[in-house]
Structure formats: C-alpha cells, structure tokens
Amino acid sequence: MSLEALIFDVDGTLADTEETHRQAFNYTFLRFDLKWEWTKPLYRELLKISGGKERINHYIGTLAVPLAERARLCQLVPSIHREKTALYTQLIADGRCPLRPGVARLLAEAQEAGVWLAVASTTTAANVDALLTRHLGRGSLRQFHTIACGDLVEQKKPAPDIYERALSTLGLPADQCVAFEDSRNGLYAAKAAGLFTVVTTSQWTEGDDFTDADLQLSYLGDADHPLPPAQAARVGGPWLGFCELRSLHEKATRDSSSEAAAL
Ligand code: XBP
Ligand code: MG
C-alpha cells in the first residue's frame, strides 16, 4: 500500500517539551498560591494521564483535602491551564525546546516526496502553533494538511480518537499513513487506529515497553546525530530516511495483507 501521509505526535516526538510543560505547570501553581510541586519523578507518573487539564484534575483527586476544597480546586482547573498555556507558549517562542534530531530533515524529505504531513496531539492548538512557528517559521502550519489536537476529541490518548480524527480529515485509510510517537499512550492510540507506528523514546519514556511499535529508535537521526549502530543497521543507514521509511511501511502493509489473505 502506498505511503501518503506522516502523522506526528508533538510533545516528546517533534520536540522534547515535557520538561518545559512541567516547569510551566509548577510556576503557574505558584502564581495561584497552590503549594503543589510536580517533581520529575512525580511528573513521569502523571504523564500517564494525557491532557494538562485532565492531569491537574487527576492530581487533585490524590490530595487529602475536604470535599468542598476539592470542588473549589476543580473549578480553578480551566484558568490554571489557560495561564500555564500562556506561559508555556512564551517559553517555546523563546526557543526553549529545539526540534528533536532528524525531525526537520524528515519533514522536508516527506514534502519533497509529495507526502502529506499531519499532527495528532493531546496538547492545545496554541502549543502546537508556538512550536511549529518557532522552528519552521511563520506560515509553517500551512505545511501540515491536518492539525488534530487538544479538545477536538473527548477521549484523549490512549484512545484512538485523535488519530481517527486526523485520518478522517486527511481522507486516507490508516494503511496509507505512518504515525510517530514517544509514549505508550501515544503508541496505543496510533495502533488502535490501525497505524504503522515509529516510536522515538524521550527522557520521560526511555525504558517503557514499546513491544507493539513497528519501529523503535532513540531519535530519527541526521548527519549531526547518527543513530546508534544497532538501530542504523535496522534502518539501513545512519538515520531514518524517508525512502527507507516508505519501504519499511510497504513491507509491513504487504505482510499484513498476505496474513489476512491466509486466514
Ligand atoms: C502530551 C500531553 C499533553 C502535554 C501537556 O501530548 O499529554 O497533555 O503533556 O500539554 P502529545 P497540555 O499527545 O503531544 O504527546 O497542558 O496542553 O495538555
Ligand atoms: Mg507525546
């Protein structure tokens, strides 16, 4: 089956943004006079909950506070998240998070090959806009056929909804697309949507179980950041090139259709 679109997760995949999210959350909690601090170990746990608002609500649920206080805190969540997003987008605009190695290269190679680009992310549209504009320039959003993100869907990752939304906007079947993810939630979502999925692990997901990934790499790689030898052997070169990706995808879709025919 031909490869017609690449669908990218944002946080952890396009850029290693979660440390900046974590700092933006903590600074915002201070501004709301909340004695909360999300340390790195705690944040790694909280990342199992997709969505900043959902993550704050989950955290409030773990606090030993009276019901009335819990209700008061829950009512604050939308304004806390709005303020955190305003701070986060400013940090991103200041160049806080570079694109991960090989992302700009693969985006350019895909466009060169006439393949569509898309985003499927849990984060807010403002955050996606800030990151793409900062690193790919004003108007770079137009390079993406589809940006599916944030509250466009009710069920966030690991539910497949945001990927199904992206596929329906692209008007493409899953077997003509490839997804790029960094987390288990994201991998589950992409696989549940039927997508060939490349995982590039981040500092927050290193060591997690990605058995179901169709390809797992430390990063996409480029001339300045070649892949480790064992991974380079898997992709036939020092980085994951678009042509190699296309042949891995075509082989996988050919194998799965011949398995289906054998049933
Ligand atoms: C990762 C997430 C997001 C971010 C925080 O999104 O789960 O919630 O952690 O961003 P992705 P918000 O699907 O791109 O990996 O506060 O805007 O939710
Ligand atoms: Mg992610």
Regarding whether 38 and 165 lie in a shared domain, the answer is no
DSSP strand pairing (146-149 vs 196-200): unpaired
Q: What H or E segment, with its residue span, contains residue 215? A: strand 215-217
For the segment 86-119, what is each residue's pLDDT rounded down to a tens digit?
A: 999 999 999 999 999 999 999 999 999 999 999 9
Regarding whether 69 and 102 lie in a shared domain, the answer is no
Q: Is the pLDDT of residue 83 over 80?
A: yes
Regarding whether 145 and 202 lie in a shared domain, the answer is yes
Q: For all residues of the chain together, what is the average pLDDT? A: 96
Regarding whether 127 and 53 lie in a shared domain, the answer is no
Last residue of one domain, picked from the residues 73, 93, 113: 93
Range of the domain at 126: 5-16+98-262
Regarding whether 202 and 220 lie in a shared domain, the answer is yes
Ligand 1 within 6 A of CB of 28? no
- For residues 26 and 37, the answer to whether their CB atoms sit within 8 Å is yes
- pLDDT value of residue 172: 98
Regarding whether 140 and 220 lie in a shared domain, the answer is yes
What's the domain count of the chain? 2
Cα end-to-end distance, the chain, whole Å: 19
Neighbour-count burial of 103, counting CB atoms closer than 10 A to its CB (0-12 exposed, 13-18 middle, 19+ buried): buried
For the segment 49-73, what is each residue's pLDDT rounded down to a tens digit?
A: 999 999 999 999 999 999 999 999 9
Regarding whether 108 and 87 lie in a shared domain, the answer is no
- pLDDT value of residue 254: 87
- pLDDT value of residue 156: 96
Regarding whether 136 and 113 lie in a shared domain, the answer is yes
CATH number at residue 88: 1.10.150.240
Catalytic annotation present for 9: yes
- For residues 89 and 127, the answer to whether their CB atoms sit within 8 Å is yes
Ligand 1 within 6 A of CB of 127? yes
pTM: 0.96
Residue whose CB lies within 8 A of the most ligand 1 atoms, among 50, 151, 157, for a mutation test: 50
